[in-house]
Structure 1
Amino acid sequence: MPSKNMLPKGQRRRTVKPQYRATRGVESPPPPVIPILDIDDDAEDSTHAFTAAPEAAGLRLDQYLAQAIPDISRARVQLLIEHGQVRVNGQPPKAKLKLQGGEQIEIEGAPHPPPLHAFPEDIPLTILYEDKHLAIIDKPAGMTVHAGSGNAAPGEVDERNAGTLVNALLHHFNKLSQVGGELRPGIVHRLDKQTSGIIIVAKDDSTHRKLGEMFSSRELEKTYIALVHGRLTKDSITIKLPIGRDLVRRTRMTTRRSADSEGVRPAVSHVKVLERIHSPHYGDFTLVEVRIETGRTHQIRVHLQALGHPVVGDTLYGAPHQIGQPPSTLSLDRNFLHAARLAFTHPQTRKALAIESPLPVQLNQFLANVRTDKRPI
């Protein structure tokens, strides 16, 4: 459910629950299906020419190409356009060019970037547990777990391929599992970039596969701490809302698509209230513990937003950029979401493990500020 902070000023006392309930399970009109282009990505020096499909009418150029070329991101399309590798009707276009359908489009070189390769980087790591089979890391907020696609030439360092958890792991450990491929050695599961806390790393393929099976069968107990906007009235609640990709804003997930839609998967989160905080200047907050049974993309953030209580700092899902009124405002450049505890049976030794990670200093300080209504100087 949308946060009240997303409503226009003057209307934030109005409840948004009726509108949310009225649209739950109602599918938005499906976007037009864009025909896939068959482009030979091996021909580095060739020019790929094609005609924009009629279904492209009304779409931006970058939007159309990102949908028409398999496995290419919109950011990559924009980079090709910026580098002058795209022409429309013989002219260099802007990414925001609105198409009518039928335009002659040319792309010079291979649209897809060459694959990135992870490399060791001397980045400090907090290791909570380690043996010959696995390691458990306390990941800081702001660190990406692994790189995505990039456009670096072989042997070159792409900044998007640097500073990741994988880079640090390759420096600290002699051996990591290869089940996830060259770009994700050792990575069994992920945490969002702006989420901190516990993550497991596999050192060998056997451990990796067994951990993967344990995640799939929900044999690990994962507990998070989050601070959300507003006051949760119930002491505990179980959220069983399926999650799928938002068809309009593709960087977001949503609970508003019907459960039988393509790509929508069941998700279960158990929320327990730890503390309710009222700050006269900053408003109401609730500190919660969240235990998840499933591990969907953005699951906790999406489920809490669906309740109308977005995670503090999570502007993607409706949290305000600033809290309070100028000149005394607070802000958080990360999500107030921390993977605090992980309990499981070791897949090789069968030993019971329960690993905990304390709240980072930044989150403790933010929490202290809202508890005491302390205002920045």
Structure 2
Amino acid sequence: MPYLDILYQDDDIIAIHKPAGLLVHPSWIAPKKTPNLVYSLKRYLRGEPVYTIHRLDRATSGVIVFAKKKEVAQALNAMFAERKVQKTYLCVTRGFVPEEGVIDYALKPIFDKKADPLADPDKPAKEAVSAYRRLGTVELPIPIGKYPCARYSLVEVKPTTGRKHQIRRHMKHIFHPLVGDTKYGEGRHNRLFREHFATRRMLLMATELSFEHPTTGEMLTIKAPVSRKVSELFDQLGWQGLYPAPVERTERQLEALAGAIDDDDSFELSEDSD
């Protein structure tokens, strides 16, 4: 049975560990009644209001924060807009990424023609900045294309702006696309991970958010470990100790986390979803 993995909660905000493959909101691109995080969260809060502050792509897992009060939502939205929230992501890229660097490459806004048919497709590119550092590398004795081996990097990324698909587009820009990214990545590398590691998901995870609590003023850091399956994959690649490992939970903790879902719900959340 699926559950809400609550990372932090108080009277003002709630932070959830979103699994890969789960929509944040209902979407016209998904069949009707496709599970979404906001729906489950509203059920958990028993009809109390919930305000979206930021989003994660469907294929991205990790920490996402919601507000429980309108004034708190306004304060958090201002923090994101003013770049007062520090965001940390973990990803796997093709090739050996340089040890560290900053990608300062403006990105054009992405509009959905069906969702927003009146949007101007010719809007100029906006500032987009992502700092990154390489945590680990691996060379696999698996031929790919004209190369006898396949090389990959484990990378930490801290974006200071929040453009749509920013990390995915920035890593592609420096010729190191994300593994599992079916839009900006490379099919042969995605296939390698499917065939050799049974990994179908995009390997991008929001692992940490740090910001000043809008009510108490205290600095708050919320962390999301990688899933068990991702942890097993990273261990296979020799990256033990380089990533936030999953937290072991007791049966009682798992039962407590299941508060938003009734027993008759017929869907499951799969981190293998694209």
Q: TM-score scaled by structure 1?
A: 0.55
The counterpart of 2:103, out of the listed 197, 220, 239, is 239
Query: Between the two proteins, what is the percent identity of the paired residues?
Result: 31
The answer for the alignment partner of 2:172 in structure 1 is 305
The answer for the alignment partner of 1:209 in structure 2 is 74
Deviation at 1:143, TM superposition (A): 0.3
Q: What RMSD in Å do the two structures reach over aligned CA positions?
A: 2.6
Give the 3-state SS of the residue equivalent to 1:339 in structure 2.
strand
| CA offsets 1:209-232 (integer angstroms, 9 cap, x no match) | 000000000111100011111011
Larger Rg: 1 or 2?
A: 1
Comparing 279-288 and 206-215, the one that deviates more: 279-288
Tell me if structure 2 keeps the 8 A contact 1:140–1:196.
yes
The answer for the alignment partner of 2:127 in structure 1 is 266
Deviation at 1:137, TM superposition (A): 0.6
The answer for the alignment partner of 2:10 in structure 1 is 131
The answer for the alignment partner of 1:11 in structure 2 is none
Unpaired stretches in structure 2, ≥5 consecutive residues: 115-121, 143-148, 240-274
* 1:169 maps onto 2:41 in alignment: yes
Equivalent-residue separation in structure 1 for 2:91 and 2:26 (angstroms): 26
Give the 3-state SS of the residue equivalent to 1:364 in structure 2.
helix
Give the 3-state SS of the residue equivalent to 2:152 in structure 1.
strand
Tell me if structure 1 keeps the 8 A contact 2:96–2:152.
yes
Relative to structure 1, the CA distance from residue 348 to residue 175 in structure 2 (aligned partners, 3 Å threshold; closer, same or farther) is farther
Tell me if structure 1 keeps the 8 A contact 2:109–2:123.
no
| CA offsets 1:58-111 (integer angstroms, 9 cap, x no match) | xxxxxxxxxxxxxxxxxxxxxxxxxxxxxxxxxxxxxxxxxxxxxxxxxxxxxx
Deviation at 1:368, TM superposition (A): 2.7
Equivalent-residue separation in structure 1 for 2:124 and 2:33 (angstroms): 28
**How many residues in Structure 1 have an aligned counterpart in Structure 2?**
224
Equivalent-residue separation in structure 2 for 1:133 and 1:329 (angstroms): 44
Unpaired stretches in structure 1, ≥5 consecutive residues: 1-121, 151-157, 178-184, 252-260, 373-377
The counterpart of 2:191, out of the listed 307, 319, 322, is 322
Q: TM-score scaled by structure 2?
A: 0.75
Which stretches of structure 1, 4 residues or longer, exceed 4 Å deviation after superposition?
Answer: none
Deviation at 1:175, TM superposition (A): 5.4
Equivalent-residue separation in structure 1 for 2:196 and 2:5 (angstroms): 32
Aligned counterparts, 1:113-152, within 5 A? 123-149=2-28
Deviation at 1:302, TM superposition (A): 0.5
Equivalent-residue separation in structure 1 for 2:171 and 2:150 (angstroms): 17
Q: Which amino acid counterpart does residue 169 of structure 1 have in structure 2?
A: L
Equivalent-residue separation in structure 2 for 1:160 and 1:214 (angstroms): 34
Relative to structure 1, the CA distance from residue 315 to residue 144 in structure 2 (aligned partners, 3 Å threshold; closer, same or farther) is same
Relative contact order, higher structure (CA 8 A, sep 6+): 2
Give the 3-state SS of the residue equivalent to 1:311 in structure 2.
coil
